[in-house]
Amino acid sequence: MNEILIERDRDIATVILNRPDKLNAMTRPMWRGLGEAFEALSAEDDIRCIIVRGAGTRAFSPGNDIAEFATERSNKAQGIDYGRDMYRTAAQIAACRHPVVAQIHGICVGGGLEIAALADLRICGESSRFGAPIKNLGLVMAYAEMAPLVQLVGRSIALEILLEGRIFDAQEARDKGLVTRIVADDQVAAETLATARRIADGAPLVARWHKQFARRLGNPAPISDIENDACFDCFDTEDFRIGYAAFLAKQPPTFTGH
């Protein structure tokens, strides 16, 4: 579908919310397509980083297209059914093996903020705006939608965002922990690509392990001996031998992902 595009630059893939005439507002087919894109890219061993962004420079996404509500989300039964598509996509982004970087231009609100919160890093421009004013629609952010936001910024700040429903600037977003880095508006794409390249040039197995470990540390259950032991699997990889030899030779490593 042309409203979700995938572009490739060697080992970096970019997933684009491609509805610029509507500021990349999400429709139900877009939610499905976004999840399918991440599921497919996660399975590819030659991908080392994924960028997700909105088309153009006016918006990442303002969230769901309100015009769809009359036909797709007009009652509880429809809301539950629509929610399944959203939650499935959120789970696919969260479970992605590869590092994900959100390239945020302009508006990043509501469902757009939910997508960005699922990324591992978020880079925005100085004029970017954030928020989740869904209280003004009489809607809640359900458990599955709220969980990544709470995990990212904590319960108190998540509630501040939802209870007040304010739209706030990039500096406040960084202060709240929503944003990793702020750059000039005309440097967002370049900085995001440079970040993705730094990630992609590292050992891909290590990046995947670090994502796995960070996810596991969100679970309060004690780390088992088997899990601790698995942290040392990296010593048996070809990439460790490549990295070690390159360090001694004072040369940049070329990792294979094995």
CA-to-CA separations, 257 to 16, 40, 251, in angstroms, rounded? 26, 18, 18
Mean pLDDT of all residues in 80-92: 94
Rg (CA), the chain: 19
Predicted local distance difference test score (pLDDT) of residue 73: 87
Predicted local distance difference test score (pLDDT) of residue 1: 58
* CA 152, chain centre distance (Å): 11
- Give bridge partners of residue 12 from the DSSP assignment: 9, 49
Q: Helix crossing, 155-164 with 143-153: angle to 10°? A: 120
User: What pLDDT, in 10s, does the model give residues 89-120?
Assistant: 999 999 999 999 999 999 999 999 999 999 99
pLDDT band at 19 (very low <50, low <70, confident <90, very high): very high
- Asked whether 1 and 13 are in contact (CB, 8 A), the reply is no
Predicted local distance difference test score (pLDDT) of residue 118: 97
**Domain ranges within the chain, ordered by starting residue:** 4-200, 204-248
Helices (H), the chain: 28-42, 69-72, 76-94, 111-117, 143-153, 155-164, 170-176, 188-200, 204-217, 225-230, 238-248
User: What pLDDT, in 10s, does the model give residues 119-173?
Assistant: 999 999 999 999 999 999 999 999 999 999 999 999 999 999 999 999 999 999 9
Decide: helix, strand or coil at residue 3.
coil
Q: What percent of the chain has pLDDT over 70?
A: 100
Average pLDDT in the chain:
95
- Tell me the C-alpha distance between 198 and 121, whole Å: 13
Spatial CB neighbours of 247, under 8 Å, sequence gap ≥ 6: 253
The CATH number for 4-200, chosen from 3.90.226.10, 1.10.150.120, 2.130.10.10, 3.10.20.30, is 3.90.226.10
User: What pLDDT, in 10s, does the model give residues 30-48?
Assistant: 999 999 999 999 999 999 9
Name the pairing type of β-strands 181-183 and 4-9: unpaired
